[in-house]
């Protein structure tokens, strides 16, 4: 069995030095470009299952990387730590 772990792309809050934790900002334009840049190196056919947290930035990252061809199992247990408000 092979396990691949990928961190989400850069969020809209990154440049404001905000630690997002379980807040749910979207990917920034730069974050989308970054994920799109590595997507050609990811063969979505190699994955039997794809899991992501329930956060928007994680879901969008996975959709780009798998070219929207895989069912995404969303799991709130892998959401980032709550960092306060």
7 marked as part of a ligand binding site: no
Q: Is residue 47 predicted with pLDDT exceeding 90?
A: yes
Please report the pLDDT score of residue 34 as a whole number: 94
Q: Is residue 70 predicted with pLDDT exceeding 60?
A: yes
* Res. 25 pLDDT band, cuts 50 70 90: confident
CA nearest to 47, candidates 27, 75, 67, 31: 67
Please report the pLDDT score of residue 21 as a whole number: 58
Dihedral sign for Cα atoms in the order 4, 28, 63, 50: positive
């Amino acid at each position: 069995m092979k396990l691949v772990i990928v961190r989400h792309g850069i969020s809209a809050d990154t440049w404001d030095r905000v630690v997002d934790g379980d807040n749910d900002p979207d990917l920034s334009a730069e974050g989308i470009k970054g994920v799109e840049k590595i997507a050609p190196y990811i063969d979505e056919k190699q994955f039997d299952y794809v899991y992501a947290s329930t956060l928007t930035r994680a879901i969008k990252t996975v959709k780009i990387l798998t070219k929207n061809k895989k069912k995404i199992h969303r799991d709130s247990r892998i959401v980032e730590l709550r960092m306060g408000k």
